[in-house]
């Protein structure tokens, strides 16, 4: 049977061969074309430029071969910024560092072909503080800090390892340090928080923490995103004797002293005349626990939950009980709040003290039309003097900061106009909420600003995901003047990756002007950092 199959196969192959010879051959182009020839330009990216660092105007020599024949059309760049070519020889190129150059890779461009060269560090007055000891940072975001009465610093966030001190015993979401960032081992927080802490506040001899957590240290119940600590870092507890049937033994149960919380994440807490104001993206209910009241079935160790409807902002007494004189009607109904998510910032000094600015994704607040921003008086009502002649932003606001020295707000977000005037996702407001047109942001490319804060001298720190500003390479971090123009000597730093949530003016250990940076970021000036660092500005 097999011998009969072979002739058939051979015959079919012969027919196929004849058909193939008679058919005209077809050729198809490669789906992925060959890369363009780099023109014979050879440059060693691992070489060290001469000099290795320098400021604007410095003439730098870099070894390169094969460039001389393209000297009429070659373009040299320092981190994307075009430089003046001083001379080209068969073995090297001499270039002058341009005015707005920043640390990063060098490159030679001929037509549409790019040949990358070595990294070059552009000297400037902004750099990581060498006296800052926490060089490993934190393994997750750092949201806020508190300066204690004895001069130490408490940091809170989503981390469980600070400067590699949590490898054996995790530093769960809060640590205390010395001013240089050194971990303070004497502060005892046990197992810390079960979730992210966004804010810490000290009132009298207690700390108050807020965030997204349901437990602290060994207590994994009866906490709803807000609680109170003793100054030694331990949870402040209260011994109660739950209701018992007759003849049952009296057993003391220790519960959190602060008896109040909310149904959702709390981003901010503020001290206000001996009470606490609470703010959250979308809090809807205040939650209270009753440890003593028996229920109908007389069950043992039962905690009775009680909830009260509330919207976005609330005020509590220091024991956690709800203050219903704030943002409630005379009839006991809560104010309407916003029709979207809400963030906030509180004025702590000056003529605006006790007022709170709310912002976010809402277009109405307490039944009043707003442009994603409003200000609240100390009694919880809307401040009608804020932005009284404008309609606010045309889209979501991500962040609002205020400088009490300059009396200016900085606002960032997804908006493209404010009070009917075109702006570019970041703007400055006067203390009354009107637009300060003297500040004009330039064009951002490859991303947007997410955070801006004006310093006491009027300069403004801006961070985000952008790759350039006003046509100049700025990788996510820059410092501009009060008009929105880049300051050359303050913008030589390299790559920044991530986002800032807080910038604090401070000093280094040797007395230099410094900024403490906190947030969720992993690179500054092209060097690895982790969510917290300190930089100097001189």
231 has pLDDT over 70: yes
Residue 511 burial by Cβ neighbours in a 10 Å radius (0-12, 13-18, 19+): exposed
Which pLDDT band, with edges at 50, 70 and 90, does 461 fall under? Answer: very high
143 has pLDDT over 60: yes
Asked if residues 284 and 342 have their Cβ atoms less than 8 Å apart, the reply is no
SS3 304: strand
Q: If you average pLDDT over every residue of the chain, what do you get?
A: 90
Give the Cα separation of 286 and 274 in Å (integer).
Answer: 19
Question: Residue 243 has what pLDDT?
Answer: 56
Asked if residues 241 and 250 have their Cβ atoms less than 8 Å apart, the reply is yes
Question: Residue 247 has what pLDDT?
Answer: 52
What would the DSSP string read from start to end of 231-273?
TTS-B-EEEE-----TT-----EEEES---EESS---EEEEET
Domains in the chain, start-ordered, CATH in brackets? Answer: 53-123 (2.60.40), 188-335 (no CATH), 338-492 (no CATH)
* Structure token pair of residue 207: 């700390």
527 has pLDDT over 70: yes
CA nearest to 464, candidates 454, 474, 472: 474
Tell me the mean pLDDT in the region 9-22. Answer: 43
Which pLDDT band, with edges at 50, 70 and 90, does 250 fall under? Answer: low
4 has pLDDT over 90: no
Which pLDDT band, with edges at 50, 70 and 90, does 36 fall under? Answer: low
CA 486 to chain centre: 21
Give the Cα separation of 188 and 46 in Å (integer).
Answer: 48
Least confident of 89-98, 165-174, 294-303, 482-491: 294-303
Q: What percent of the chain has pLDDT over 90?
A: 83
Give the Cα separation of 36 and 41 in Å (integer).
Answer: 12
Question: Residue 365 has what pLDDT?
Answer: 96
Question: Residue 9 has what pLDDT?
Answer: 40
- Distance set, CA 96 to CA 56, 62, 108, 111, 181 (Å): 7, 11, 14, 21, 39
Cis before 122? omega within 30: no
pLDDT in tens, 412-454: 999 999 999 999 999 999 999 999 999 999 999 999 999 999 9
CA nearest to 393, candidates 351, 353, 358: 358
Asked if residues 76 and 101 have their Cβ atoms less than 8 Å apart, the reply is no
Question: Residue 11 has what pLDDT?
Answer: 44
Question: Residue 518 has what pLDDT?
Answer: 98
SS3 462: strand
pLDDT in tens, 74-83: 999 999 999 9
pLDDT in tens, 186-201: 998 999 999 999 999 9
Question: Residue 169 has what pLDDT?
Answer: 82
Which pLDDT band, with edges at 50, 70 and 90, does 170 fall under? Answer: confident
Question: Residue 304 has what pLDDT?
Answer: 79
CA nearest to 370, candidates 332, 330, 415: 415
Which pLDDT band, with edges at 50, 70 and 90, does 144 fall under? Answer: very high
Geometric angle at alpha carbon 536, from 534 and 538, rounded to 5°: 180
Question: Residue 538 has what pLDDT?
Answer: 85
Asked if residues 453 and 515 have their Cβ atoms less than 8 Å apart, the reply is no
Residues 6 or more apart in contact with residue 382 via CB below 8 angstroms: 365, 366, 368, 374, 375, 376
248 has pLDDT over 80: no
- Please name the residue that has the structure tokens 């995103």: 225
């Amino acid at each position: 049977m097999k011998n009969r199959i072979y002739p058939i196969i051979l015959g079919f192959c012969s027919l196929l061969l004849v058909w193939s010879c008679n058919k005209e051959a077809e050729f198809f182009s490669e789906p992925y074309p060959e890369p363009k020839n780099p023109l014979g330009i050879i440059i060693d990216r691992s070489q060290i430029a001469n000099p290795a660092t320098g400021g604007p105007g410095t003439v730098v020599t870099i070894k390169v071969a094969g460039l001389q024949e393209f000297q009429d059309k070659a373009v040299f760049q320092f981190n994307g910024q075009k430089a003046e070519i001083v001379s080209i020889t068969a073995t090297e190129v001499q270039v002058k560092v341009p005015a707005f150059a920043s640390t990063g890779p060098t490159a030679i461009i001929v037509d549409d072909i790019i040949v990358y060269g070595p990294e070059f560090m552009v000297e400037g007055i902004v750099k990581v503080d060498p006296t800052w000891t926490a060089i490993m940072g934190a393994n997750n975001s750092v949201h806020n800090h508190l300066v204690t009465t004895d001069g130490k610093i408490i940091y809170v966030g989503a981390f469980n390892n600070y400067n590699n001190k949590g490898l054996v015993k995790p530093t769960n979401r809060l640590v205390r340090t010395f001013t240089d960032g050194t971990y303070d081992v004497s502060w005892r927080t046990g197992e810390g928080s079960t979730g992210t802490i966004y804010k810490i506040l000290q009132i009298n001899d207690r700390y108050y923490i807020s965030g997204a957590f349901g437990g602290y240290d060994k207590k994994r119940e009866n906490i709803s995103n807000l609680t109170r600590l003793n100054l030694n870092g331990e949870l402040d507890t209260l011994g109660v004797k739950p209701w018992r049937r007759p003849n049952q033994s009296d057993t003391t149960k220790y519960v959190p002293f602060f008896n109040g919380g909310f149904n959702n994440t709390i981003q901010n807490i503020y001290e206000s005349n001996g009470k606490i104001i609470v703010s959250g993206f979308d809090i809807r209910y205040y939650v209270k626990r009753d440890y003593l009241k028996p229920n109908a079935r007389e069950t043992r160790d039962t905690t009775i939950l009680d909830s009260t409807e509330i919207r976005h902002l609330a005020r509590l007494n220091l024991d956690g009980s709800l203050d219903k004189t704030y943002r409630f009607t005379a009839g006991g109904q809560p104010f309407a709040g916003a029709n979207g998510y809400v963030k906030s910032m509180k004025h702590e000094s000056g003529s605006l003290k006790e007022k709170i600015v709310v912002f976010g994704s809402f277009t109405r607040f307490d039944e009043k039309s707003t442009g994603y921003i409003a200000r609240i008086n100390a009694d919880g009502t809307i401040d009608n003097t804020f932005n009284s002649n404008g309609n606010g932003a045309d889209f979501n606001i991500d962040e609002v900061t205020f400088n009490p020295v300059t009396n200016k707000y900085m606002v960032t977000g997804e908006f493209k106009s404010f009070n009917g005037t075109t702006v570019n996702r970041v703007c400055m407001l006067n203390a009354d909420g009107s637009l300060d047109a003297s500040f004009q942001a330039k064009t951002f490319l490859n991303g947007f600003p997410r955070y801006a804060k004006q310093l006491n001298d009027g300069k403004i720190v801006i961070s985000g995901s952008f790759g350039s500003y006003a046509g100049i390479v700025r990788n996510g971090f820059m410092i501009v003047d009060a008009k929105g123009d880049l300051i050359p000597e303050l913008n030589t730093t390299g790559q920044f990756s991530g986002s800032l949530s807080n910038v604090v003016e401070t000093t280094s250990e040797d007395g230099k002007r410094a900024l403490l940076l906190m947030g969720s970021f992993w690179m500054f000036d092209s060097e690895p950092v982790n969510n917290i660092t300190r930089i100097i500005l001189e």
